[in-house]
Amino acid sequence: MTDRLTMQDPRAQYPQPPFPRQPQPVPGLAGKMDPQPDHGETSYKGSGKLTGRKALVTGGDSGIGRAAAIAFAREGADVAIAYLADEEADAKEVVVLIEAEGRTAVALPGDVTDEAWCRTLVEQTVAGLGGLDLLVINAGHQQNRQSIAEVTSDDFDRTMKTNLYAMHWIAQAAVPHLPAGASVITTASVQAYDPSAILLDYATTKAGIVAYTKALAKQLLEKGIRANVVAPGPFWTALQSSGGQPPEAVTKFGEESAYGRPGQPVEIAPVYVLLASQEGSFINGEVYGVTGGAGIA
């Protein structure tokens, strides 16, 4: 593979389906995926855009959160990552990568469906990093169900608590610590605008994330704090192989995009960097779609 910043046809830049069949139990590990996702471990090059910043990234062990955490560290930020205890193997790799940049890494294993833990992880971030001025609320739960009859109350509750309640709890706990110039970034999805039939509860939460963040942006700007949303399309992450898509769909995941392939997490990391950095100073209450050509409306 050529350097990702070398001019080339983006359709052929990363692996295309078909992929091997690879079902995993929830929550799934990036280390068990084939092909391995590119989170920027060797391909993301920083340029000091976040020097001295202090970031919390939820879901920072793998997927889009991992890519954001790596990029933030390469850009000069200290980074705390929140993740489930079952994802420790992936999280340890991220901690090593952050520390390799000479940055402070704080590992925060726990379940964000627990309100008390959401508030504690913010306090532990502030204590471990000496403050907080970048907040990426990214952890998500996605499980496909073929019929409305199969979406149990437990399913619905877990998706809502992971994707919406936790966002509120973490943001509420974090805002008192955020100074003017800080940035909040949430992760929605193209599902908020073009929902799949098999993702009723997930799509609902992603639409909620958009509305919540737009409202929050109006509040926070009065404090000099920006809030924005990133809305990904199909990205090659463990979320898909651990039940986010049916196993047979994973083998051809991303082929429906205009690119004929899924995005790799490193391809969305620069958007998080832009929204986090002072270069994005006039960007607030916006939704940035990174969908491989699908659009977000």
Task: Calculate the average pLDDT of the chain.
Answer: 96
pLDDT at 1 over 60: no
- What are the E-state strand segments in the chain? 54-58, 78-83, 105-109, 134-137, 183-187, 226-232, 287-290
Instruction: Assign 3 a pLDDT band (cuts: 50, 70, 90).
Output: confident
Q: Does domain 47-290 have CATH number 3.40.50.2300?
A: no
Tell me: the pLDDT tens digits for 69-88?
A: 999 999 999 999 999 999 99
Output the CA torsion 37→39→43→48 (10° steps): 170
| pLDDT for res 122 | 98
Percent pLDDT > 70 in the chain is: 99
Q: Copy the structure tokens of residue 124.
A: 């532990």
Q: Which residues contact 228 (CB under 8 A, 6 or more apart)?
A: 183, 184, 185, 186, 213, 217, 275, 280, 283, 284, 285, 286, 287, 288
Phi then psi for residue 11, to 5 deg, are -70, -30
Q: Which amino acid is at 241?
A: S
d(CA 80, CA 240): 24
Q: How many CB atoms lie under 10 A from the CB of residue 182?
A: 23
pLDDT at 108 over 60: yes
| pLDDT for res 277 | 98
Phi then psi for residue 232, to 5 deg, are -75, 155
Instruction: Assign 210 a pLDDT band (cuts: 50, 70, 90).
Output: very high
Q: Which residues are catalytically annotated?
A: 202
d(CA 29, CA 89): 8
d(CA 143, CA 157): 12
| pLDDT for res 297 | 59
| pLDDT for res 144 | 95
d(CA 59, CA 167): 12
R_g of the chain computed on alpha carbons:
18
Do residues 260 and 11 lie in contact, with contact meaning Cβ atoms separated by under 8 Å? yes
Do residues 242 and 19 lie in contact, with contact meaning Cβ atoms separated by under 8 Å? no
- What are the E-state strand segments in 128-209? 134-137, 183-187
Do residues 54 and 129 lie in contact, with contact meaning Cβ atoms separated by under 8 Å? yes
pTM as predicted: 0.96
pLDDT at 114 over 70: yes
Mutual angle of helices 63-74 and 269-276, in 10-degree steps? 50
Q: Is the peptide bond before 17 cis (omega within 30 degrees of 0)?
A: no
Percent pLDDT > 90 in the chain is: 96
Q: Copy the structure tokens of residue 146.
A: 């073929």
Mean pLDDT, residues 109-131 taken together = 98
Mean pLDDT, residues 204-222 taken together = 98
What is the residue whose two structure tokens read 């001025």? 133
Tell me: the pLDDT tens digits for 137-161?
A: 999 999 999 999 999 999 999 999 9
Q: Copy the structure tokens of residue 28.
A: 């799934």
d(CA 176, CA 290): 30
d(CA 156, CA 65): 23
